[in-house]
């Protein structure tokens, strides 16, 4: 594993964003695994979800933190780093090394905060594309991602169709439903309600940790399923035999959520949470690339697709994956679809699963020239 950064759009150049705003210089933090072959035909780009980062596999030098998809990516694994040159970068707007709202604005010498321009999924992919150019890779054997990472994969396929040989989409959607937007909006409101947020200008003082923790807890409920929560927690009490009759965490599920909230604020920037959820809410493949038609959006694509959904994913339910496949098929594209029976909810795509690894392994092997 090699962790590096790449900076582009140096002054006087700037990156043009979908909103019309410009941004620069732009740094993208990325990691690579394995080696690019002589033909440059074995590159696999992995796009991370909302709160992920470039560290997709292996253990980091610092802290020995395992990668967020270490169960899938590595020697001999579903995405085999002995066969493929795997690249994963932190998204634009993120807070794990790539330029985002917590980065220093070179024009003021202070963190951007809310002066950071709104970035879209398209902008994130455009920045990834600059990185791929920099790595001198002409075509990607596969672009892979789940959830908000899957949105980036979709964007790659329609924005740079000639560069994508194959694509793997997990637990994703062409656009958020009203309910998905609603959950994100409430999470954002929780952050902005925290007085430490200070209009996004909190980098010199205390952070809006309480608001961000609530935002994370809201998210967590949507990542699990009613069934998995019943199975995992039910109404079990936390280290006690009866109710406390106060507002302590009596139920295990309460204590789990509080813990998730607390852990999250140590590693994530509240403004990045705002920007990335907003980008996900704005994402609308039909509207942005198909003049309202999903089929039209894929009209230039040449990739082979693997689309995977999970039965208990109620954030991006199977119906939404089926709609993606239907749009692909209307263009005569090769698209395999698999709905995995799981009680684990949306999070299932991140968890070890004995069905997913061989599925991805087989799909990638067929894609190899």
117 is an interface residue for a copy of itself by CB under 8 A:
yes
Residues 290, 308 contacting (CB under 8 angstroms):
no
Q: What are the angstrom distances between the C-alpha of 356 and each of 25, 310, 339, 344?
A: 38, 11, 10, 14
Q: What are the angstrom distances between the C-alpha of 332 and each of 159, 235, 236, 295, 303?
A: 18, 49, 51, 10, 11
Residues 38, 54 contacting (CB under 8 angstroms):
no
341 is an interface residue for a copy of itself by CB under 8 A:
no
**Residue 13 vs 179, nearer CB to a copy of itself:** 179
* 309 assigned to active site: no
Residues 181-220 that bind a copy of itself (CB under 8 A): 181-183, 185-186, 188-190, 192-195, 210-211, 213-214, 217-218
Alpha-helical (H) ranges within 110-225 are 121-134, 148-159, 178-192, 209-223
β-pairing verdict for 43-47 and 142-146 = parallel
126 is an interface residue for a copy of itself by CB under 8 A:
no
Task: Determine the number of helices (DSSP H) and then strands (DSSP E) in the chain.
Answer: 11, 14
Q: Which residue among the candidates 55, 176, 289, 346 is catalytic per the annotation?
A: 346
Tell me how far, at minimum, the Cβ of 308 lies from a copy of itself, in Å.
Answer: 21
Burial of residue 340, with CB atoms counted within 10 A of its CB: 0-12 exposed, 13-18 middle, 19 or more buried: buried
* 346 assigned to active site: yes
Pick the stretch among 53-61, 91-99, 163-171, 244-252 that binds a copy of itself (CB under 8 A): 244-252
Binding mask 268-307 for a copy of itself (x = CB under 8 A): ------x---x--xx-x-----------------------
> Which positions touch a copy of itself (CB under 8 A)?
19-21, 114, 117-118, 175-179, 181-183, 185-186, 188-190, 192-195, 210-211, 213-214, 217-218, 221, 224, 226, 229-230, 232-235, 243, 245-247, 249, 251, 253-254, 257-258, 261, 274, 278, 281-282, 284, 314
Return the active site residues: 147, 313, 346
């Amino acid at each position: 594993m090699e962790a590096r950064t790449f900076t582009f759009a140096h002054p006087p150049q700037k990156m043009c964003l979908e909103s019309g705003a410009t941004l620069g210089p732009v740094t993208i933090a990325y990691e690579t695994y394995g080696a690019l072959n002589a033909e440059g035909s074995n590159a696999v780009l992995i796009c991370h979800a909302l709160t992920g980062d470039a560290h997709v596999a292996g253990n980091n030098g610092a802290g020995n933190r395992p990668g967020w998809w270490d169960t899938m990516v590595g020697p001999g694994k579903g995405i085999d780093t002995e066969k493929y040159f795997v690249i994963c970068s932190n998204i634009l707007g993120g807070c794990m090394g790539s330029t985002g709202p917590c980065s220093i604005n070179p024009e003021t010498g202070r963190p951007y905060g809310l002066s950071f321009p709104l970035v879209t999924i398209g902008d994130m992919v455009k920045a990834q594309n600059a990185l791929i150019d920099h790595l001198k890779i002409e075509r990607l054997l596969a672009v892979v991602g789940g959830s908000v990472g899957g949105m980036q994969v979709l964007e790659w396929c329609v924005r740079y169709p000639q560069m994508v040989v194959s694509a793997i989409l997990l637990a994703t959607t062409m656009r958020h439903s009203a309910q998905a937007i609603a959950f994100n909006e409430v999470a954002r409101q929780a952050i902005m309600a925290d007085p430490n947020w200070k209009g996004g200008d909190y980098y010199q003082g205390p952070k809006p940790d309480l608001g961000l923790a609530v935002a994370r807890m809201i998210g967590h409920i949507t990542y699990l399923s009613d069934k998995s929560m019943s199975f995992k927690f039910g109404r079990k009490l936390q280290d006690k035999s009866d109710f406390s009759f106060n507002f302590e965490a009596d139920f295990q599920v309460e204590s789990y959520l509080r813990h998730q909230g607390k852990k999250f604020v140590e590693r994530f920037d509240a403004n990045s949470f705002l920007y990335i959820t907003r980008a996900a809410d704005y994402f609308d493949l039909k509207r942005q690339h198909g003049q309202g038609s999903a089929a039209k959006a894929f009209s230039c694509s040449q990739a082979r697709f693997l689309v995977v959904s999970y039965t208990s994913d109620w954030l991006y339910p199977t119906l939404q994956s089926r709609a993606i496949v239907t749009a692909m098929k209307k263009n005569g594209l090769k698209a395999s679809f698999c709905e995995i029976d799981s009680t684990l909810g949306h999070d299932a795509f991140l968890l070890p699963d004995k069905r997913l690894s061989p599925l991805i392994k087989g799909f990638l092997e067929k894609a190899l020239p």
